[in-house]
Structure 1
Amino acid sequence: MKVEKRREAMLQAVLSGMNDVAALCEHFGMSEATVRRDLRALADERRIVRTYGGAASVGVHEPEESLDTRRESFREQKEAIARAAARHVQDGDTLFLDGGTTTAALARCLAGRKDIQVITNNLLAVGALASADVRVTLIGGDVRPSSMSTLGPIAQVALSRLTFDKAFLGADGVVAGRGLCEATAEQAFLKECIVAQAASVFVLVTSDKLERASQQHWTPLEREWRLITDSFADDAAIERFRQRGSVNVERAEMDAR
């Protein structure tokens, strides 16, 4: 089989969900070195995203859901993830809550805590926390209406002056070995700034976002971090994150209280 046809066939296999190098080797009857070389070539052409032990589809730039749609989608899963995340918060912690509806659910779980301080760019979280007398520091910047969060140069400068014990991040997608994907470069870079200032990093995403490369802008995660997702997460997807070694994975049970 000619190289071009072989790589086109491999691309179609990846797009259909065959993401592991071992599975691709078996399917095509090729050596691991050849498969990896073809995957690198496809990644260089931006047709796929290389991941730890395999590849994932890049996908088209998906339109962002409206804020109202985000609030309603996967609500039970987000609440379960938020409850699981809240159990990692200890007395005296200074936290950062990223923008998004899952981190806003975490804010509701933390309402009433008098022994923590929350720094956030999430306008959805501020109301729940401030009305419950939680100490809140709001990061300034440009307001992004589709997520009701702040970002931009002002937010970046403010973050450079702060540190926190734990950062809780959301994302449009998360890919093992690649990081978090976002709709804009500003969002991705702001998350990178947050990660740099945090002693511990938690990523809170519903299982539909695992191995999802739906946007073109990335925040790398080149450190230890914890992924908290819901109980519907696919075992194979979870295993790809665990194989990284630097990722602790936690599944939040729907009936957790």
Structure 2
Amino acid sequence: MKVTNRREAMLQAVLSGMTDVSALCEHFGMSEATVRRDLRALADERRIVRTYGGAAASLGIHEPEESLDSRRESFREQKEAIARVAVSHVQDGDTIFLDGGTTTAAMARLLAGRRKVRVVTNNLLAVNTLAASEVPLTLIGGDLRPTSMSTLGPLAQLALSRLSVDKAFLGADGVVADRGLCEASAEQAYLKECVIRQAAQLFVLVTSHKLDRASQQHWTPLEREWTLVTDARRDAPEMASFLLHGEVTVETAR
């Protein structure tokens, strides 16, 4: 493995919570000297913070958020496949929550012909699709976040506390099996936590490049059973931690 690729993999391991030198040595099958050298190089680039016996994520560093137009175009086929699997779980009589994001917006397009499903959402992309259909629709109000065309904040949190849903379908900037969902803002992360409390069943919809990825600094814990729907192959390295996790059911969309 090239040095740059190895260090990028080590960075992702540290961001995912693997912060001890001995654990990194075992995980990568490398000597302690090599691991320490790579950690030192990442720290010099200010991508992590060195600690006694290991490293930690630098709280001030996160990837720039992708624009809405870019997200609409990227991984379009994969998102459509994930949406089809997710919609297969929606039964007549269900009340479901669609989170902000382009994958859940793809779900909305597939639900537009349904009449016996109620949709609760903060996703204005989904609203734009469903408003012209006969799907009963509840929009969660709040502060508009233009970069995702979704609503959040105290009013959205209050609205969610007054209702419950059968199934919640959430997106994320990244998902780590033992840590949860990462988001670009604290408001996004906390709104997802509010949704999780009100949902009987939980589904997380992410493309494969978001698996085991801690690209942002705000987190929503996943401390209950949930289903991961992704386009990643089951034998992909980034799937290992999810397949071994006792509270995660994995479904692949191809």
TM-score calculated relative to the size of structure 2: 0.81
Runs (4+) off by over 3 Å: 10-13, 16-23, 38-43, 231-234
Tell me the equivalent position of 1:54: none
Shift of 1:238: 1.2
Task: Find the partner of 2:31 among 21, 28, 31.
Answer: 28
- Deviation per CA, 1:54-107: give whole Å up to 9, x if none: xxxx89311111111110000000000000100000110000000000000001
Secondary structure of the corresponding residue to residue 167 of structure 1:
strand
The alignment of Structure 1 onto Structure 2 pairs a total of residues equal to 226
Secondary structure of the corresponding residue to residue 84 of structure 2:
helix
In structure 1, distance between residues paired with 2:172 and 2:150: 13
- Deviation per CA, 1:116-175: give whole Å up to 9, x if none: 100000000012112111000000000000000000000000000010000000000001
What is the letter of the counterpart of residue 110 of structure 2? C
Tell me the equivalent position of 1:65: 66
Shift of 1:14: 2.2
Residues 150 and 78 of structure 1, relative CA distance in 2, 3 Å threshold: same
* Contact residue 11 and residue 42 of structure 1 kept, 8 A: no
Secondary structure of the corresponding residue to residue 237 of structure 2:
helix
* Contact residue 232 and residue 239 of structure 2 kept, 8 A: no
Shift of 1:28: 3.2
Tell me the equivalent position of 2:185: 184
In the TM superposition, 1:214-253 aligns within 5 A as 214-231=215-232, 235-253=236-254
Tell me the equivalent position of 1:15: 11
Tell me the equivalent position of 1:200: 201
Q: What residue ranges of structure 2 are gaps of 5+ in the alignment?
A: 1-5, 34-49
In structure 2, distance between residues paired with 1:39 and 1:210: 26
TM-score calculated relative to the size of structure 1: 0.80
Shift of 1:15: 2.5
Report the aligned-residue RMSD: 2.7
Residues 226 and 41 of structure 1, relative CA distance in 2, 3 Å threshold: farther
* Contact residue 59 and residue 215 of structure 1 kept, 8 A: no
In structure 1, distance between residues paired with 2:52 and 2:187: 27
* Contact residue 207 and residue 232 of structure 2 kept, 8 A: no
Secondary structure of the corresponding residue to residue 91 of structure 1:
coil
Say whether residues 1:101 and 2:109 are aligned partners. Answer: no
What is the letter of the counterpart of residue 10 of structure 2? V
Tell me the equivalent position of 1:168: 169
What is the letter of the counterpart of residue 15 of structure 1? L
Residues 61 and 111 of structure 1, relative CA distance in 2, 3 Å threshold: same
Secondary structure of the corresponding residue to residue 150 of structure 1:
strand
Tell me the equivalent position of 1:142: 143
Tell me the equivalent position of 2:41: none
Tell me the equivalent position of 1:158: 159
In structure 2, distance between residues paired with 1:170 and 1:218: 13
* Contact residue 207 and residue 233 of structure 1 kept, 8 A: no
Residues 234 and 149 of structure 1, relative CA distance in 2, 3 Å threshold: farther
What is the letter of the counterpart of residue 223 of structure 2? E
Tell me the equivalent position of 1:88: 89
Say whether residues 1:122 and 2:123 are aligned partners. Answer: yes
Shift of 1:237: 1.5
Matched-pair identity in %: 64
Q: What residue ranges of structure 1 are gaps of 5+ in the alignment?
A: 1-9, 31-37, 48-57
In structure 1, distance between residues paired with 2:75 and 2:125: 17
- Deviation per CA, 1:225-246: give whole Å up to 9, x if none: 0000014576221121111110
